[in-house]
Structure 1
Amino acid sequence: MELKSSTAKAFVITAAVVVVLAGIKAASAIMVPFLLSIFIAIACSPLINLASRYKIPRWLSVTLVILLIIIFGFMLAGLVGQSLGEFRQNLPNYQAQLSVELAWVIEQLANLNIIVDKNLFLSYFDPAVAMSVATNFLSGMGGVLSNVFLIILTVIFMLFEAESMPRRIHVALSDPGMKMHHIDRFLKSVNDYLAIKSLVSLGTGAFIGVWLYALDVDHFMLWAVLAFLLNFIPNIGSIIAAVPAVL
């Protein structure tokens, strides 16, 4: 009886996970901007709190922060849009260059007595597919930036509502003091992480930008900005940022 109960529980949990993942996938058009809004709001909250210490009205500090976000967003959107257009225009040249590089690799392998069939090798590593990875990557970035109005509206709401959040928690919870303590600790840890990560990401982006400029790589500014942004993704962010530029 106990075994049947455990099996049924496992099936229910598995089904629930599948349903939740399917729901997240179906709502990805909304979830991605919403999660990005949460990230931006948490990252901007220290600036709002710093302005409050200097007696700057909250509406003014939120407005200034939103203006900075809008300026950065439009600059990034312009950079991505321009680079995407140039990238698509030069795509045949990039594919031809990549084919030449692959032929060189096959030749070097032959010098090491490693015989590789060129046609078979190219069938597994199609330059057109490799280039489409970078194109789709930039298109995805443009898709996220197209939701800029929804993201900004959500960030504004979160920043204004953050001030009244402690009062609402006191009303809703039985032990608000302890809950607020945990929330404050969590937010402080996140802000400390973001501060350190921002410095590391800025250094990474600057280094990659200078390095790619020295190598005369096209769109080096775009890859530097993407390296800065994607470096916030733990462990794999820098690898993801490097793939399009390497291709």
Structure 2
Amino acid sequence: MSTPGQPRALAPGLTPTAWAIPRGLIVLLAAAGGVVAIGGMKVSSGLLGPLFLALMLTIAVQPIQTIVQRRGKPAWVGMALALIAALAIVIGMIGMLVVSAAQLATELPQYTDRVDDLLAVARDRLAELGVDQTQIQNLLSEIDIGKLVGVIQDALRGLLGIFSNLFFVLALLLFLAFDGMSIGRKLDIIARERPEIAYALNAFADGTRKYLIVSTVFGLIVAVFDGAALWLLGVPLPLLWALLSFITNYIPNIGFVIGLLPPALLALLDGGPWLMLWVIVLYSVINFVIQSIIQPKFVGDAVGLSVTMTFLSLVFWSWVIGALGAILAVPLTLLVKALLLDIDPTTRWVNTLISAKAHDPEPVPGSPVAGEEPASSVD
């Protein structure tokens, strides 16, 4: 017999069994941890939004540093060029938005009389349908061009408020650009020690760059066609609406609707219902063909996400981070996919379910999955 405090001897032929957590409890704990993490991200959305924006911009311009270093130039030259490119994107986009919104704010007050005429027509039509005058008055009293101008001015102040975070974004871009000078060597070391982690990080970076390239190219195409159509129809501020089409192209699934509403409303004020109808028809044809038929195929092939996953990503990240989360929904989903799925061969099969088309999981060089001997690791 074993004495107290000593492990009990096993019978001959038996081996000790390892204690394991039940799978259901693992799932429950993982779900609870996910809820806590999502709550933390939502609370700190004001910090995470600019951080992710700076990270996406750094990934987008990182090839500049790589090309410069491969040509034998000093690393600081590539860092400077990449930083200039990222700053040009941020400052140029904000500058165009502020100027365009200011033009819109000065343009809208000119349509005060037109709004009154449209309200009078609507009042007469409602009266012909038998609607009570009191109800008509209560309904139409909420529509005021002055209120619309106030909304535009508030939007302008909100855009100017971006500059309060702009310094944070610029500082992050500077620090990330410095780190970018040695990121290649760091990834080489990680690839030798932890090939799975290197694979996940490279998959995230490559997918993000492909998504940004595809969205930018198709955004420019859509902006050119939309701007040309509005110019031919005589809708005011066609360049502003073309810029809006370009920006909303980064918002999956519903970006087209967001880009359509302002020019359609301005067309109604400027030329009446028929001009608004033409804007809706042309926008629908252009954007449906490009954004709903052609672009999703290229995006799905580039990032490995199905249309359903893309839409759910949009809803989720918009709720967590806000408007910036809608623009960065796909890159953020790629980051989560890299950290939770691509990093572990046992969970990489989930990519087949969430991707746009069925494919076998890619083997990781230097790992047993690829049929090679695993690299030595340091704990």
Does residue 61 of the first structure (1) align with residue 78 of the second (2)?
yes
Deviations 1:26-77 (A, max 9, x none): xx1x333222211211221233333333334332223223333444544444
| Aligned pairs (5 A) from 1:116-155 | 117-123=135-141, 125=143, 127-145=145-163, 147-155=165-173
C-alpha displacement of 1:201: 0.8
Deviations 1:85-126 (A, max 9, x none): 343334433454344334445556777x58585323324655
CA distance in 1, matches of 2:166, 2:194: 35
Does residue 228 of the first structure (1) align with residue 246 of the second (2)?
yes
Deviations 1:122-173 (A, max 9, x none): 2465555555444444443333245433322212322331343465578889
**Is the 1:48–1:61 contact (alpha carbons within 8 Å) kept by the matching residues of 2?**
yes
Does residue 179 of the first structure (1) align with residue 197 of the second (2)?
yes
CA distance in 2, matches of 1:45, 1:153: 16
**Is the 1:88–1:135 contact (alpha carbons within 8 Å) kept by the matching residues of 2?**
yes
C-alpha displacement of 1:200: 0.7
| Aligned pairs (5 A) from 1:106-117 | 113=129, 115=131, 117=135
Q: Determine helix, strand or coil for the equivalent of 2:182.
A: helix
Which structure would you say has the larger RCO, counting Cα contacts within 8 Å and 6 or more residues apart?
A: 1
Partner of residue 207, structure 2: 189
Structure 1, unpaired ranges of 5+: none
**Is the 2:191–2:199 contact (alpha carbons within 8 Å) kept by the matching residues of 1?**
no
Structure 2, unpaired ranges of 5+: 1-24, 266-379
Q: Which has the higher helix share?
A: 1
Partner of residue 42, structure 1: 59
Alignment CA distance shift 1:9-1:90 (3 Å): same
**Is the 2:219–2:250 contact (alpha carbons within 8 Å) kept by the matching residues of 1?**
yes
- After the TM superposition, which segments of 4 or more aligned residues of structure 1 sit over 6 Å from their partners? 12-15, 169-174
CA distance in 2, matches of 1:49, 1:171: 17
Q: Determine helix, strand or coil for the equivalent of 1:217.
A: coil
Partner of residue 96, structure 2: 79
**Count of aligned pairs:** 237
Alignment CA distance shift 1:17-1:101 (3 Å): farther
**1:213 equivalent among 231, 255, 259:** 231
- Normalised by the length of structure 1, the TM-score is 0.72
C-alpha displacement of 1:202: 0.9
Partner of residue 33, structure 1: 50
C-alpha displacement of 1:21: 5.3
| Aligned pairs (5 A) from 1:88-103 | 88-103=105-120
- Normalised by the length of structure 2, the TM-score is 0.51
**Is the 1:209–1:221 contact (alpha carbons within 8 Å) kept by the matching residues of 2?**
yes
Alignment CA distance shift 1:198-1:79 (3 Å): closer
**2:40 equivalent among 14, 20, 25:** 20
C-alpha displacement of 1:182: 1.5
**Is the 1:34–1:154 contact (alpha carbons within 8 Å) kept by the matching residues of 2?**
yes
